[in-house]
Amino acid sequence: MASLVTLIICITITISQAVATTDDNTLGIGISNESQSKHLRELTMQQISLRIPYFSNNGEIRRMIYKINPDNKLALSALRSCQELLPLAIYNLNRSLSTDVTKAGAISMTISAGTTLQMCIDGFEDQPRVIFESVNNKLKYPIDLNRVTIKTMAMRSPKRSPRPCKKNPPRCQPKRNEDRSKRNQAEAMRPSQHMTTRTSPRLR
């Protein structure tokens, strides 16, 4: 049953690749799409930069934490994490724009940037609602932008999108550039490598 599902998924991917290839070839929109995804990543970096003051030591969220409870160590530690996570997200997006990065590597780095922003929000999960909502609203736009970017990138070159076939049946064997893309995926800096401490324990 599971392998049947895998097979169906693989066939679907194969078909969508064929369709996408046809579109690229007949309509010639590949290039404009690539510049679109580049523009989106630049815009996302810019939007993240604009939010850095909000997370700074005299920023809005710090004042909000102090006003509610100045001894809220978990909130302050979550804030410190965000101060590292936002630049890390920018770093990964910027790195994805580098010309020596493969498409799959760039997608992986872009996904990693989104995860990094989400980690900042997650640190405030158990905080008073007004604080959590404020952080969540602050990062919603760059996260949404990032999602659109990933879709655009995956759409443009589905052949190399890092969508692994779980069981690797013959039809799903990655065809080419596997080594290069693997290397680039490993290069994407993950928050877990970078961050040595957890921001807040999950109480659920």
Encoded one letter per residue, x for contact with ligand NAG by CB under 6 A and - for no contact, window 146-175 reads ------x--xx-------------------
CB of 18 to ligand NAG, least distance (A): 12
Closest residue by Cα to residue 68 from 142, 7, 27, 129: 129
# residues contacting ligand NAG (CB under 6 A): 13
CB of 159 to ligand NAG, least distance (A): 12
CB of 97 to ligand NAG, least distance (A): 7
Task: Verify binding: residue 187, ligand NAG, rule CB under 6 A.
Answer: no
Task: Verify binding: residue 21, ligand NAG, rule CB under 6 A.
Answer: no
Encoded one letter per residue, x for contact with ligand NAG by CB under 6 A and - for no contact, window 73-112 reads -----------------x---x---x--------------
Applying CB under 6 A, which of residues 10, 45, 120, 145 lies at the interface with ligand NAG? 45
Task: Verify binding: residue 33, ligand NAG, rule CB under 6 A.
Answer: yes
Closest residue by Cα to residue 159 from 172, 145, 146: 172
Binding interface with ligand NAG (CB under 6 A):
20, 23-24, 29, 33, 36, 45, 90, 94, 98, 152, 155-156
